[in-house]
Structures are given as C-alpha cells and as structure tokens.
Copies of this chain bind each other. A is one copy, B any other.
Amino acid sequence: MFDIQLSGKAPIYEQLYGGIAALIASGRLKADEKLPAVREVAKSLGINPNTVQKAYAQLESAGLIYSMPAKGSYVSAQPQTTEVFRVQALQKLSAELKNARSFGVTYDEVMDAVKQIWSDDRNGGEV
C-alpha cells in the first residue's frame, strides 16, 4: 500500500499528503485511478482512519484527487497541478541551497550531490 514510510517529526497526515502527491506528480498514480480506501490505508500503515481521512481531504481540497462518497477516491487528471508542485519543490530547493551555502558548503560538493541523485535512475524518486 503506497510504499510510504512514516518517519521523523512531521505530522503523519502531512507525510501521507506529500507521499501521495509525489506518487501522482511522478505518474505512478494515474488519472482516474482509484485510491485505496481510507480504512484500508489506515490498517496497512497502522494509523488511525481519521488521520488518513485528513490527508485525503487536503488532497481533495488541493485538487489532486476527487472523492465520491460511498464510491471511493480517485486521482484527478490535471496536468497543471504537477507544474505547481514542480515550482514549489524548486522554491524549497532554492532555500535549502542558500542555507547550505551559508554554512560553507562548496559549489563542488553540491555538484557532486546533484550528479549522484540525477544519475541514480534506478531509484524511482522516493519521498
């Protein structure tokens, strides 16, 4: 189920939101594909259904999925949403780059990291 591993101090529902968003943006969840039921995800991740529900609700309000009560939740097909996420990711990345520079990280070090990650095409792009 989702192969999302919960970790760290970020709220669970937020990790779930980000994880599913990444799956949609990366195309591994395709348009109109049915998402697993709230209770199902909750059980498989060992968390409370309400927490999953919160993540689904935010995904819907963000326009990434649409929910039909008593039917299920489905990913919505909007090519432009992925663009929004790309831009957000770039902004966060830019902030992190500035931070790294302020702590003395060198240009070459960053270059090495970038090359390593983008050459690693076996990796599907974990979150």
Which residues in A have some Cβ–Cβ distance to B below 8 Å?
Answer: 9, 22, 25-26, 61, 69, 82, 85-86, 88-90, 92-94, 96-105, 107, 109-111, 113-114, 117-118, 123-127
Q: Would A25 and B114 count as touching, CB distance under 8 A?
A: no
Contact check, B117 vs A103: say whether CB atoms are below 8 A apart: no
A22 in contact with B94 (CB, 8 Å): no
Copies of the chain in the assembly: 4
Chain A contact residues: helix, strand, loop or mixed? helix
List residues of chain B with CB within 8 A of the CB of A111.
114
Pick from A25, A88, A93, A104 the residue with the most CB of B within 10 Å.
A93
A114 to B114 Cα, complex, angstroms: 10
Contact status of A22 and B103, CB under 8 A, knowing A109-B90, A110-B114, A113-B90: yes
Inter-chain contact A114/B107, CB cutoff 8 Å: yes
